[in-house]
Chains A and B, each alone.
Chain A
Amino acid sequence: MAANFWASTHGQYWMLDEAALRKSRETDLKYLKEIELAKIRGEDVYCFVLNLTSWFLYLVIAALGRRLNVRQVIIATAITYFKRFYTKNSYKNTDPYLVAATCMYLACKMEEFPQHIKSVILEMKNVTADQGGFGYDNQKVAEMEFYLLEELEFNLIVYHPYRTLKTLAIDLGQKSDVIQRAWHIVNDLFRTDICLVYPPYMIAIAAVGFVIMIKEARANHNGIDTRTRKGNGSVGGVGSGSRNEGRGISGIKELKQWFSGLQVDMEKVLEIIRNIKNLYSQWREVNEIKAQDVLRKLREAQNKS
C-alpha cells in the first residue's frame, strides 16, 4: 500500500484509460445535446463544454478549500474523489455542488484535518453565492457522504504527485526553482482528468520535465520568447522566472541529464507532457464566465427535470 503505489487501491482500481473515461461521459454528452446547452453541435464541442464544466468545478472546490484554509493536498484529494465519483455518475443525475462539498468534507477527515460539517456548508454557500447558492443542510451532506463512500468503493487513500516532487526536490537541491514551478503545474493539472489516467509519480516527473523544457526553450531563445510568457501568464510562473538565474546552458544540460536518468516510462511521461501543453493552450479559450454559464444552465435543467 502506502509504500508501493501499485499495491494500493489507487494503483489497482483507479487508473482508468481514456476510453473508459469517454464512456463514463456518455450520459452527460447525450444530456447536453438534449438540453441544447450552449446551442452548439458536434461531439468535440460537447466534450469541450464538459471539460469546461469540470474545469469550473475544480475552481469551486479549490475556492472552498481555500476558504476552509486547507492545504493543497486536501484540495487534490477532494478533487480526485469528485472525479472518481463522476466516472460513475452523471451531472444530469447529481448536483455537482452537493458532491463537491461532500468530497471536501470527506477529504478533510481523510487527510487528518477534520472540519465541522457546518463550516463546510457555510463556506460552500459563500463560494456559490452568485451561482445559485447551496441549499443543503447537515443531513443531506451526511447522506451524500454515504453515497459518495459507496461510489468510491471505500478507497479513500489517494496518492498525489506532491510527494514525488518533494523527493525530487532533494535531488535538485534548495536553489533550484524547478520543483516550485512543477508544483504549480501539478495544481493546474487537477483541472483536467489526468489524475484518473496516470500514476501520480509520473505526473510529477512530467511536470518537472515540462519545466525543464520551457527553461531550455527560453535559454535557446535567449529570453526573447515573450509569446510563451504571455500564453502561460497564469500557469504558476512557468516562463516568467527572472532572467538572471545564472544557470545558463550548463544548468540546463545538467538538468536534462539528471532527468533522463530517472527510472520511469518516458513514453508515458511524454504523453503527460503533451497533456500539459494542451492544458495551457486551452487556457485562453476557457474563460471562467463561460464555464459558470454552462454550469448554471446545467443546474437549471436539473431543477426542471
Chain B
Amino acid sequence: MKRSKPAPNNFGMLHDLKMKKEAKQIRVQEKYEIQGFISSGTYGRVYKAKAKEPKINEHGMEIECVYAIKKFKPDKEGDTHSYTGISQSAVREISLCKELCHENTIRLEEVLLEDKSIYMVFDYAEHDFLQIIHHHSQSERKPIPEFTIKSFLWQLLNGVAYLHANWVMHRDLKPANILVTADGVVKIGDLGLARLFHHPLVPLFNGDKVVVTIWYRAPELLLGSKHYTTTIDIWAVGCIFAELLALKPIFKGEEAKMDSKKNVPFQRSQLTKIFEVLGTPTKERWPTIDHQPEYNNLNSFRPYSNTLREYYDRLPSAKSEAGYNLLTAMLEYDPIKRISALDALSHPFFEEEPEPSFGSFEGQEFKYPRRTVKPEDNDIKGGIPAISSGASQAGVKVSANKKEDGRNSKRIKVEQ
C-alpha cells in the first residue's frame, strides 16, 4: 500500500452540509406532540404522536392526524461504542416503505433524522391482530366473529399479494405486525425484515441467518432451506388464520437458541408441534423433501398422522368447509404446492357468506379497547427527550410494553 500524503481532513465540508440541514431541519418535537409510547421493540421504540398542525382536507376541514413514530436507535459497535451509521433493518424498512402504496400496507408519512436517530412517521393504527386475539381470549372470552376473521384474512392476503407482485418478501408476518385501523382496515406493518427478492445478490440465507418468528416459520426454513421463496409468507398467513380462529398459536414450539458460534440449531420442538397437527411430512406430500439440508434429522421423529381436520372441527368459529380447504392450502408442506396470495384471494371461501369487507368490524356491537399508550418515563435513556406536558407529568415508571407470551418479542436476527 502506498503511503498517502497527509489527508485533507475536510471537516469544513461536513460543516456546510450541516448548515444546510439545520436550515431546513424540522425537529420531531416541533412538528409532533408525543402522546406516549406504544412499544419497545427490537430496534427502538414506537411512540404515539399527534401533528401539531392539523391537515386541511379538500372541503377545507381540519383533520386530526395521529401517527405512530418508530424511532431507531443508532447502530453502535458492541464494545467500542463508535457510531456506525444507519442499521440494515432501517435501510430496508425505509427504502421499501418509501415505495409501497397500498390500502393494506402501512403508510409512511415521512422520515426525520435527528441526533443520530431515525424517526419513521407512520399513520397510526388503533389495533393489531395480536391485541385483538388477546382481547377475545382474555376479556371477551368469545371467538372472533366469522365476518371479522374473513375480512382480516382477505385484506392480509390482499396486502401480501401486493407485496409479492412487487417482489417484496415480508419475512416477519405475525399477529403483532399486522395492524388494523379503528375502522377495521388491515395494514401490514414492520417491514424491518422485508426485502426485494428478484436477482438476490447472495443466497437469501447469507443475509439473515434466521427469518420469521419461530411459531410462524415455514417448514422449509426449519429444515434449513437456503433459497426460499414468497411461500414462506403464505405459511405465516396460514398460521395467523388458524390463530384468529383458535385464539392461540397453532404451532407453539420452543425456540432452540443459537449457540455461541452462531450456528443455527435444529428446531426440533417447533417441527414437533407442526407434525402433531399436520402429520409427519412424507415424500408423497413433499417430493423434494430429501433435498432439505436437515432432512436426515427427520428420521429421529416418531410418525404422526394428520389431525388438522380434527383441529379445525374443534374450533368454535370455524364452520366453513371452504375455510378448511384454504387453511390446508396455506399450510401445505411442499412450498411449490402451497397456494399463492393471488390464488388465495379468489378462493371460494371468500365468495361464501359472509363476504369479506374492508370494514372488518361492521355490525359488531362491541368495540375493541384502544391501544394502550403509556406515558413516557423521562429517565429512559434514548427516549425522545421531552414529551408533551400532560403525559410527562404523570411521571410513572413504566417498563416496555412487552407481551408476556413473547409473541411480540421473539424475533432473532443475525446480521452480517
Contact = CB atoms under 8 A, between A and B. Distances in A.
A132 B166 CA distance: 44
Interface stretch (A28-36, A141-149, A229-237): A141-149
A112 B166 contact: no
Nearest to A113: B201
Interface stretch (B13-21, B174-182, B210-218): B13-21
B83 A149 contact: no
B10 A145 contact: no
Given A93-B13, A112-B201, A150-B21, A132 B95 contact: no
B17 A147 contact: yes
A95 interface: yes
Given A109-B91, A112-B200, A113-B202, A141 B195 contact: no
Given A105-B85, A106-B91, A109-B86, A133 B6 contact: yes
Nearest to A126: B1
A91 to B, nearest CB: 10
A299 B8 contact: yes
Interface string A94-123: 110010000001100111111011000000
Majority SS at the chain A contact face:
helix
A192 interface: no
A129 B2 contact: yes
A3 B21 contact: no
Given A112-B202, A147-B21, A150-B113, A130 B86 contact: no
A217 interface: no
Contact of A130 (B2, B14, B111): B2
Q: Which of A94, A112, A139 has the most CB of B within 10 A?
A: A112
A135 B10 contact: yes
B98 A155 contact: yes
Given A2-B166, A154-B111, A155-B98, A94 B3 contact: no
A143 B95 contact: no
A144 B11 CA distance: 11
Given A1-B166, A126-B1, A140 B85 contact: no
B389 interface: no
A11 B269 CA distance: 47
A133 B416 CA distance: 28
A8 interface: yes
Given A1-B100, A149-B113, A303 B8 contact: yes
Given A3-B167, A140-B14, A163 B198 contact: yes
Contacts of B297: none
A139 B310 CA distance: 59
A155 B95 CA distance: 6
A157 B416 contact: no
Given A1-B166, A94-B16, A145 B202 contact: no
Interface in B313-327: none
A244 to B, nearest CB: 33
Interface residues of B, number: 50
Interface in A142-187: 142-147, 149-150, 154-157, 163, 166
Contacts of A150: 21, 113
B99 interface: yes
Contact of A302 (B13, B91, B202): B13
A166 B168 contact: no
A9 interface: yes
Given A112-B201, A302-B10, A149 B86 contact: yes
Interface string B1-39: 111111111111110111011000000000000000000
A273 to B, nearest CB: 26
Interface size class of A (residues with CB under 8 A): 35 or more
A43 to B, nearest CB: 25
B415 interface: yes
Contact of A144 (B14, B98, B101, B195): B14
Contact of B101 (A7, A128, A140): A7
A74 interface: yes
Nearest to A151: B17
Nearest to A96: B13
B85 A142 contact: yes
A144 B111 CA distance: 17
B98 A130 contact: no
A138 interface: yes
Contacts of B4: 125, 128-130, 132-134
A133 B5 contact: yes
B82 interface: yes
A71 interface: yes
A265 B91 CA distance: 34
Contacts of A205: none
A8 B8 CA distance: 39
B207 interface: yes
B307 interface: no
A141 B11 CA distance: 11
A128 B107 CA distance: 42
Contacts of A130: 2, 4
A114 B416 contact: yes
B408 to A, nearest CB: 26
B227 to A, nearest CB: 14
B199 interface: yes
Interface in A1-44: 1-4, 7-9
Given A126-B1, A129-B2, A1 B101 contact: yes
A169 B17 CA distance: 43
B98 A156 contact: yes
Nearest to A125: B4
Nearest to A4: B166
A136 B14 CA distance: 11
Contacts of B113: 146, 149-150
A115 to B, nearest CB: 9
B291 to A, nearest CB: 24
Contact of B99 (A2, A95, A125, A140): A2
The 8 A-B residue pairs with the shortest CB-CB distance in the complex, in nearest-first order: A135-B7, A133-B4, A133-B7, A1-B99, A156-B95, A142-B85, A129-B2, A135-B9
Given A112-B207, A135-B9, A302-B8, 16 more contacts: A1-B101, A7-B101, A8-B99, A94-B17, A109-B91, A112-B201, A113-B201, A116-B84, A125-B7, A134-B4, A138-B83, A147-B14, A147-B21, A150-B113, A154-B98, A157-B96
23 contacts: A2-B167, A89-B17, A94-B13, A95-B10, A95-B13, A105-B85, A112-B201, A117-B84, A126-B1, A129-B2, A135-B6, A135-B9, A138-B84, A142-B83, A144-B14, A146-B116, A154-B94, A154-B111, A156-B95, A166-B199, A299-B8, A302-B8, A302-B10
